[in-house]
A and B are shown apart, each in its own frame.
Chain A
């Protein structure tokens, strides 16, 4: 496809800590196309948030360091861009929504001042234009009586409303790419439904591409077109949303899907689990990072780390075993 607006190749991010070098993101590559929603799924420590911070140039350095790769946004490499040029793009063409709407707004500034700042800086609006635009944005994200509420401080807003303000801010300049890092995790389900609905509507009207970072398979199923599953800093599976849920190819994806409690499942049935603990990034095994928890593991898995390989339908997964043909060697504790 040629409407690719972000091409990430072999991204690596590491952190230098007391325990040694930690490779938080390792060889991540993907393409983002116009108007699509790409999900990045994984558990804590899988590197999904660090990936997004790297794309925004927000990895704290030190201790963090981007140690490999490039991220081409319309031909320009974000990772090697002069800071001045990057700040023209960040918040303007590429915007981000963070998980915690309580801490990502400045408590000392009114909502108006925070929203105005964006368009004054990036679009060169006058104060009056910017205010008008900010009120319009609040209206679009569904804040009631925006022309009055805009002069409130963040603490006067509820969590759901603050997240709406964050979305309004992120979309102020009609960005090409919106990176949403767990945007609904801190919210209640009825508010989550409202926010997801809002993001879909705005994507349709503006054609924004969304990178949705989440641990919630329900959110993925709701909003994403394509999904990347991360484990221990690597992408272990890339697939279309339907294919991933219907036919997971990596044992970790399979385990993750099985261990999600479902509304439609009979009460008091035991949940399938993934044995063991998430890996310690400071002491990763030589072979596949998932091998110690994997029911399908073979001796080969302990010696060599599997690379992403194409399957017949252009989806990719990093596993030596074809789980659609093999049955698990260990009992997967169903």
Chain B
């Protein structure tokens, strides 16, 4: 339970956002009378902190709980356990009315620029609505502010009276960003903000988010499945697997020297846009798929797909441990063991491919 507390106590200022052992469980209906009700453990005991002006990237595959975590931080789903602090004040148990001022500080950018803007509202209405809710600016000034925000996100202020359908995906995402900025937040949770966009547009939006961070001192919790995008924007990166953080480090460090066998497999799976290195690259193809989040694992959740697994892994939960580079694996720093397991796995795979 105390895995992350050591690091936090050492820092003199409270982090902007701190998440301690948060869990989000969804109980399922019983299949039949008398059988135990299964529980989906979408987020299962996860801790991290995010400093002012910093970007923490969260990566993981579908179903790993990254979006649920984002929703839990904004209290869009209730947490089942753990604590969430905003600037040292606990927010996970606040009443709705007490939560309100915090909502102004934390905003969200959504994945789907087509579904996240109300098609019946003009751009002006979309951007000024949050200002109305938090009673920011006079009515007249809100229009001016909306124009300023449009300019800030790289759109023409003349677009104010248009409707979302008149814009392309990238432009809509910019409108979504302007709406998030309307209440002057300090933390923006970006849930897959560029994954619905074309590559050339994706780069524009990533650059915009980085510029805005510099200008406005925003902190981002940046959730994405694209490891290359996260590398670009994040200072620190956390890798999630089945509701838990399995590795967390400085972005540079994590990509240069991944330690968790899952992180290694994930990084080696990303196809690189370079045919030559792609041909000579050693790819660790993981067997099987992410298990269902209602499975109960007394030990490590990655054990079924892991190259290095041992008896211990089935029984003991590996804690996220280490200073700057935290890894939840019993054998994270045992390189010899890893290389030996990898060689053994490759040999097995070769035999499987080539039965002769």
Please measure, in the bound complex, the distance between the C-alpha atom of A165 and the C-alpha atom of B207, giving whole angstroms.
39
A220 and chain B: residue at smallest CB distance? B273
Question: In the complex, are the beta carbons of B200 and A274 less than 8 A apart?
Answer: yes
Bound Cα distance from A271 to B200, whole angstroms: 10
The reply to whether B210 and A270 contact each other, CB–CB distance below 8 Å, is yes
B198 and A263 within 8 A (CB)? no
Answer whether residue B342 sits at the interface, using C-beta atoms and an 8 A cutoff: no
Complex CA–CA separation, A267 to B232 (angstroms):
5
A278 vs B199: C-alpha distance in the bound complex, in angstroms?
11
A159 shortest CB reach to chain B, Å:
8
Check B283 against A193 for contact (C-beta < 8 Å).
Answer: yes
- A159 and B206 alpha carbons, distance in the complex (Å): 28
Chain B residues closer than 8 Å to A261, beta-carbon distance: 202-203, 206, 226, 228-229, 231-232
Cβ of B338 within 8 Å of any chain A Cβ, yes or no, is no
What B residues does A263 contact at CB under 8 A?
227-228, 231, 255, 267, 270, 272
Quick check: which of A8-16, A123-131, A211-219 contacts chain B, the rest being far away?
A: A211-219
Q: Which of A159, A257, A270 has the most CB of B within 10 A?
A: A270
- B286 contacts the other chain (Cβ, under 8 Å)? yes
Query: In the complex, A49→B348 CA distance in Å?
Result: 38
Contact mask for chain B residues 19-56; partner A; CB cutoff 8 A; 1 contact, 0 none: 00000000000000000000000000000000000000
B275 in contact (CB, < 8 A): yes
With a CB–CB cut-off of 8 A, which chain A residues contact B229? 261
Interface residues on B, range: 35 or more
| Contact in complex: B168, A278 (CB < 8 Å) | yes
B273's partner among A188, A245, A267 (CB-CB below 8 A) is A245
Question: Do A193 and B269 contact each other (CB < 8 Å), given the known contacts A161-B289, A245-B275?
Answer: yes
Residue in B62, B232, B268, B269 whose beta carbon sits within 8 Å of that of A265 in the complex: B232
Cα-based distance from A268 to B234 in the complex (angstroms)? 7
Bound-state CA distance A221–B273 (Å) is 5
Q: Are the C-beta atoms of A271 and B207 separated by less than 8 Å? A: yes
Contact B275 A271 (CB under 8 A): no
A215 / chain B contacts, CB cutoff of 8 Å: 198-199
Whether a CB of chain A sits under 8 angstroms from the CB of B61 is yes
CB of B135 within 8 Å of the partner chain: no
Q: Are B275 and A242 in contact (CB under 8 A)?
A: yes
Which B residue's beta carbon lies closest to that of A270?
Answer: B207
Q: Pick the residue among A189, A246, A270 that contacts B269 (CB under 8 A).
A: A189
**Nearest CB of chain B from residue A217's CB, rounded to whole Å:** 4
Within 8 Å by CB of A158, from B202, B204, B276, B289, lies B289
Q: For residue A216, which residue of chain B has the nearest CB?
A: B271
Residue in B closest to A186 when the chains form the complex, CB atoms: B62
Which of B225, B233, B268, B274 lies at the interface centre, i.e. has the most chain A CB atoms within 10 A of its CB? B274
- Asked if B285 CB lies within 8 Å of chain A CBs, one says yes
Rounded to whole angstroms, the CA-CA distance of A95 and B252 in the bound complex is: 43
Interface string of A173-216 (1 = CB under 8 A from B): 00000000000000011111110110001000000000000011
Residues of B within 8 A of A267 (CB): 231-232, 234-235, 251-252, 255
Give the distance to chain B from A19, nearest Cβ to Cβ, in Å. Answer: 13
A304 touches B (CB below 8 Å): no
**Which of B210, B252, B273, B285 touches A257 (beta carbons < 8 Å)?**
B273
Interfacial chain B residues near A273, Cβ < 8 Å: 200, 203-204, 207
Given contacts A189-B61, A189-B227, contact A262 B272 (CB under 8 A): yes
> Which residues between 216 and 273 of chain A lie within 8 Å of chain B, taking CB atoms?
216-222, 241-242, 245-246, 255-257, 259-273
- A259 near B199 (CB under 8 angstroms)? yes
Q: State the Cβ distance, B113 to closest chain A Cβ, in Å.
A: 12
**A81–B170 CA distance with the chains assembled, in angstroms:** 40
Say which residue of A161, A219, A242, A271 sits within 8 Å of B232 (CB atoms): A271
CB distance from B237 to the nearest CB of A (A): 9
Interface residue B171 (Cβ < 8 Å from any Cβ of A): yes
Question: Residues of A contacting B152 with CB < 8 Å?
Answer: none
A3 within 8 A of B: no
Contact partners of A245 in chain B: CB under 8 A: 273-276
Quick check: is A295 within 8 A (CB to CB) of the other chain?
A: no
Is B278 engaged at the interface, CB distance under 8 Å to the other chain? yes
Which chain A residues lie closer than 8 Å to B207 at the CB level?
A: 270-271, 273
Tell me the bound Cα distance from A43 to B278 in angstroms. Answer: 22
Q: Which of B61, B206, B232, B251 has the most CB of A within 10 A?
A: B232
Counting chain B CB atoms within 10 Å of each CB, the highest count among A218, A267, A272 belongs to A267
B321 partner residues in chain A, CB cutoff 8 A: none
CB of B306 closer than 8 Å to a CB of A:
no
B91 near A: Cβ within 8 Å?
no
Q: Quick check: is B265 within 8 A (CB to CB) of the other chain?
A: yes
CB distance from B53 to the nearest CB of A (A): 12
Q: In the bound complex, what is the Cα–Cα distance between A188 and B232 (angstroms)?
A: 19
- Nearest residue in A to B57 (C-beta to C-beta)? A267
A324 at the interface (CB under 8 A from B): no
Asked if A327 lies at the interface with its beta carbon under 8 angstroms from chain B, I say no
B232 contact set on A, CB distance < 8 A = 261, 265, 267-269, 271
Top 6 nearest A-B pairs (CB, nearest first) are A218-B271, A217-B273, A274-B200, A188-B61, A259-B203, A43-B198
Residues of A bordering B, CB below 8 Å: 43-44, 158-161, 188-194, 196-197, 201, 215-222, 241-242, 245-246, 255-257, 259-274, 277-278
A–B complex contacts, Cβ < 8 Å, 21 sampled: A44-B198, A160-B289, A188-B290, A189-B270, A190-B61, A192-B269, A193-B271, A194-B286, A201-B353, A221-B271, A222-B271, A255-B200, A256-B199, A259-B203, A260-B203, A261-B203, A263-B231, A263-B267, A265-B228, A268-B233, A277-B201
